Amino acid sequence: MNEYRLLLEYVREWNTKPKLCHIAQFVLFQVFSILSPTEIVEMKGIGELLEGLILYS
C-alpha cells in the first residue's frame, strides 16, 4: 500500500506541470481502477494527497 501512496505523491506533483499532467491523470485513473475506495481511504495521509490532486484535476 505504501507503493501506491508514493505513486500518488508523484502524481500530485506531475499533475501541476503542463508537460506531465496528462500522464498524471492517466496514472490516477489506473490507480482508482485497481484500488477499491476502502483501500484508498485506509491509506495514511490520503486526505492531504487527494486535496492536492483535486486542485489541478
Tens-level pLDDT at each residue, the chain (57 residues): 889 999 999 999 999 999 999 999 999 999 999 999 999 999 999 999 999 999 888
Q: Specify the DSSP class assigned to residue 1.
A: -
Are 7 and 31 spatial neighbours (Cβ–Cβ below 8 Å)? yes
pLDDT of amino acid 18: 95
d(CA 36, CA 26): 17
- pLDDT of 29 reads 96
Q: How far is the C-alpha of 46 from the C-alpha of 34, rounded, in Å?
A: 16
Look at the block and give the residue holding cell 506541470.
17
CA distance to 1, 2, 17, per residue, from 57 (Å)? 23, 23, 12
Q: In this predicted structure, what is the pLDDT of residue 56?
A: 86
| Confidence at residue 36, expressed as pLDDT on a 0 to 100 scale | 95
